[in-house]
Amino acid sequence: MSYDTSAPATRWWAPRLVQRLYDPLVVHGTYRFLWRCHVRHVLGLYYSTVRDGDTVLEIGPGNGGHLDRTDRQDLTVHLMDAFPGSMTAAAERLARYTPTQHPANALEPFPMEHDSVDAVMLSMVVHCLPGQSVTDKEAVFDGVAGVLRPGGRFAGATVLSRGVPHTRRSRAGLSLLNRQEVFSCHDDSLADLETALEKRFDQVQMSIVGSVALWQVIGR
């Protein structure tokens, strides 16, 4: 399974659009008003997961804003995204870390060495990966488990369609974003997400904020 980089949603990932619109439309827009998950909840994952001196991989970094705000010192940063425009925008924002860019499909083998990173962030990405359910997307968790060092930290967040509370507004937003092929989470469920994480990682901690599931786990 791979991304369709000719899909209509691709136009939103041009570097300048991401730089100008990602924060107001996504981080301070849909997070709060559709999914009822304030950005502080997502940022909390970064603050508790990424430490000074880490080698960190961020998959689907958006505009790089969350890692930028975390502002850890002496990071070795790797960015991975199927859309070069988004990754370019994030790399520019995180230029002080001189990030390594990996243009890659997160559902295919990761272009990084085994057991090579201390922390992995996968923030608001799973609901965009192609597939009808989390079960269809489990390859991303295989990739993370492969590059994460034993005892390393992996955290993320995703909008789910099942197993979390929704409002009329969030259901309408979910339907629209799936139709526009920005999202692909028709049957993404909390139960499937928990199963996928527990199969591959230790100390799985899950929380639900609005329609978003947030997790923190430890590498085996």
| Chain segment 71-126, per-residue pLDDT in tens | 999 999 999 999 888 899 999 999 999 999 999 999 999 999 999 999 999 999 99
**Has residue 4 got a pLDDT over 70?**
no
Q: In the β-sheet with 148-159, what is the strand arrangement from edge to edge?
A: 100-103, 76-81, 55-59, 117-123, 148-159, 212-219, 201-209
> pTM value?
0.92
What is the secondary structure of 11-34 as a DSSP string? GGG-HHHHHHHIIIIIIIIIHHHT
Q: Distance between CA 87 and CA 25 in Å, rounded?
A: 18
Structure tokens at 120: 């992995």
- Please give the CATH superfamily to which domain 32-219 belongs: Vaccinia Virus protein VP39 (3.40.50.150)
Domain limits, the chain? 32-219
For 215, what's the count of Cα atoms within 13 Å in the CB-facing half-sphere?
28
| Phi–psi pair at 209, nearest 5 degrees | -125, 110
